[in-house]
Amino acid sequence: MRGGVFADMSEIKIEKLETDLLIIGGGTAGCLAAVRAKREAAELDVVIAEKAHIERSGCLAAGMNAINAYINPGETPESFVSYVRADAMGLLREDLVLSMAKRLNEVVQEVESWGLPIEKDERGNYLSRGRWNIKISGESLKPIIAGRAIDSGARVLNRVMITKLLLEEGRVTGAMGFGVRSGIFYLIKAKAVIVATGGAAGIYRPNNSGSSHHKMWYSPFNTGGGYAIGIRAGAEMTSFEMRFIALRTKDVIAPTGTLALGFGAKQVNSLGERFMATRYSHLGAEGAPTPLRVFGPTQEVKEGRGPIFLDTTHLKEEELRELKKSYLNMYPELILSWAANGFDPRERPIEIQGTEPYLVGGHTQSGYWISEKRETTLEGLYAAGDVAGGAPYKFVSGCWAEGVIAAENAVDYIRETGSTEESAESNDCLFTEMLRVYAPLHRDDGVSPPEMEERLQKVMDEYAGGVSRYYEMNEHELLLALNQIKHLQTQTRHLRAEDFHRLMNCHEVIDRIDIAEVLLNHLLYRKETRWPAYQSRVDYPYCNDRDWLKFVNSKRVNDRLEILERPYRQVVGGDRYVP
Amino acid sequence: MSVKIDPLLCNGCQGQDEANCVKLCPGDLLMIDQETGKPHIRNEADCWDCMVCVKGCPLEAIETVLPYQLASYKATLKPRVLDGKIIWHLRDARGNEETYELKTSS
């Protein structure tokens, strides 16, 4: 060993594990999947491989103040599908959204029974906050579900980053990865695998730079590992071009649903106009689909009527206290920033802005192409949560529902197929992957992960519709970006790490570069503008149902990305553009 | 800045396998300094300001200090974690104080 870095591959400890069900990612979807699998089949061994520590990992680290996908009294799973369909501009996998919607209330009530406080009225009914939303005191949401996953008997491998799926004769039979502190190489054999790692932040240059480059809304530690292992294994992916851009408070990038839905704040421009009502009334005004609620304010700024605010000056003192409590349950640093900057939302409106684009299948629909059983196109591999495609508007409870559905079907699959034969293939695979994983530790000279991340983010921001381009793009720019990203893929062999933490950072960049290639191919292929802001093709500025009411999918075949088209199917009747 | 750890209050969670903050950080950013036996942050800019380590510290030795480009000097937000609830103490730049009590489990 030389300065904490391996000089020789023989110094690396290899740990081989066998399990029945491997869950990659112990977050929102993964924890619920583990609990359900153990309940359905107590005799099965379940392993969760988690990159951080399960107690506070992933998007829910700080907590949540609402459940935003719940079938409130008077609504049905079908009315939910109609709403989400209009919100997704008429194109989504209705079978997936419907099957998820049917499980939403069950999973919310289950987590409530584990100790999640849900706010109720005097008659004991949940307090709603909008049509599909209920209020919770969810600061401890993550430890509550993580604790339950551990109590269920699932084994947890904390601080393990999965880098490759094990494939034997076309079937997924486990995964490989490394300990981000220990450096141990893991080979985990499993009869079935559920991928539930979350989406990808850090592909585009963020709103904030330098000392605040991680002051973003989506977890900066969700770096798309689940997408990347699927892309490299040849799984079919869908709708990467439907990026997610969130409307957030300026600077600290806190969620705004709390202000709009919880406290009736309206968007206004610098002239005091309620521009969503005046310019977008035909599309639903302030209730317009989510992409338009980002597109609208972005246009205001582009056309010189910025900045944009959410008007909170109507709030009474007691309401302001309630507002602060809501944020303390989910995003406490916003309250700290107001206190530091002498900001009072009753005196001045709250400035808002769009974030950099993320890939998040729980809000939009980029991810694995899956069946209603949440099977991916690779046998033995299931997907749930932000990494699963086709079903937007999942948020926390929808990810729970998908985790449960994936677990039930993975358990059935394990019972039907039984174990796999040990093949020589997995040993060859192991050494190839070890060489790839640890290579950055052997380099004395080269590129650091932050340097390569900056390059990736600059290219994507400037040529593929980032914040600095008002999310707009055209074919020439996208082709240029693709060229640069392909070049960057050849540069990853110069990445250099001084320790295992930096080695994790290296693979987080490699994964995001692979994701960027897929994203660019999807953005190039869809020749319309289906989701303004999320996917603004200025060379094809209109929505075109005649040619493009279909899914853009892709998969890697022999190191080349192939694009496939898949048809849209309407399951719930009614006008696709009316919620 | 990101998190500030008070070296006088912090005892490195003596007696535990792992200090709470080192265990909980979702970005694996906190590590024990071999010389002092106390935690420090690898890279301040990589902090998400999620306050998980602040809430997890049994000695209330950690404070989130937002980057100066986002928040002026100096306000504090300190949680006291109790069974089933958190009491948050907020002190703004002018010294005004507010307290909020929030339920965390039922």
CB contact under 8 A, B88 and A139: no
- Phi, psi of A3, rounded to the nearest 5 degrees: 60, 40
Instruction: Report yes or no on A511 lying in a domain.
Output: yes
> Containing H/E element for A94?
helix A94-101
Residue A355 neighbours by CB distance under 10 Å: 20
A56 contacts in chain B (CB < 8 Å) = 24-26, 50, 52, 56
Tens-binned pLDDT, residue by residue, of chain A (579 aa): 344 456 577 889 999 999 999 999 999 999 999 999 999 999 999 999 999 999 999 999 999 999 999 999 999 999 999 999 999 999 999 999 999 999 999 999 999 999 999 999 999 899 998 899 999 999 999 999 999 999 999 999 999 999 999 999 889 999 999 999 999 999 999 999 999 999 999 999 999 999 999 999 999 999 999 999 999 999 999 999 999 999 999 999 999 988 988 888 999 999 999 999 999 999 999 999 999 999 999 999 999 999 999 999 999 999 999 999 999 999 999 999 999 999 999 999 999 999 999 999 999 999 999 999 999 999 999 999 999 999 999 999 999 999 999 999 999 999 999 766 666 666 778 999 999 999 999 998 999 999 999 999 999 999 999 999 999 999 999 999 999 999 999 999 999 999 999 999 999 999 999 999 999 999 999 999 999 999 999 999 999 999 999 999 999 999 999 999 999 999 999 999 999
Alpha-carbon distance of B97 to B74, in angstroms, equals: 13
CB contact under 8 A, B51 and A116: no
CATH code, A318: 3.90.700.10
> Are A305 and A265 members of one domain?
yes
CB contact under 8 A, B71 and A336: yes
- The range of the structural domain enclosing residue A259 comes to 247-354
What number is the ipTM of this complex? 0.96
CB contact under 8 A, A342 and B93: yes
Spell out the alpha helix ranges (H) of A265-331.
275-279, 290-302, 317-328
Q: Look-up: residue for tokens 């900066």?
A: A220
> Are A239 and A251 members of one domain?
no
- Torsion (CA) A246, A251, A252, A258 in degrees, nearest 10: -50
Beta bridge partners of A186: A15, A177
Distances (CA, A) of A183 to A13, A499, B27: 8, 9, 16
Q: Who's near A298: CB < 8 A, 6+ residues apart?
A: A354, A470, A471, A533
Instruction: Report yes or no on A221 lying in a domain.
Output: yes
Q: What was the pLDDT predicted at A569? A: 98
Q: What was the pLDDT predicted at A422? A: 62
Q: What was the pLDDT predicted at A4? A: 46
> Are A168 and A304 members of one domain?
no
Residue A558 neighbours by CB distance under 10 Å: 6
Alpha-carbon distance of A339 to B65, in angstroms, equals: 12
Residue A183 neighbours by CB distance under 10 Å: 19
Alpha-carbon distance of A367 to A364, in angstroms, equals: 9
Mean pLDDT score across all residues of chain B: 95
SS3 B102: strand
> Are B11 and B30 members of one domain?
yes
A214 contacts in chain B (CB < 8 Å) = 27, 45-49
Instruction: Report yes or no on A5 lying in a domain.
Output: no
Q: What was the pLDDT predicted at A419? A: 66
Residue of chain B minimizing CA distance to A207: B70
- The range of the structural domain enclosing residue B1 comes to 1-71
Q: Who's near A249: CB < 8 A, 6+ residues apart?
A: A256, A310, A334, A350, A351, A352, A353
Q: What was the pLDDT predicted at A2? A: 41
Q: Look-up: residue for tokens 């692979």?
A: A514
Q: How far is CA A205 from the centre of its chain?
A: 17
B17 contacts in chain A (CB < 8 Å) = none
Global model pTM greater than 0.90? yes
Alpha-carbon distance of A34 to A38, in angstroms, equals: 6
B90 contacts in chain A (CB < 8 Å) = 324, 335-336, 339
> Are A154 and A239 members of one domain?
yes
Q: What was the pLDDT predicted at A3? A: 41
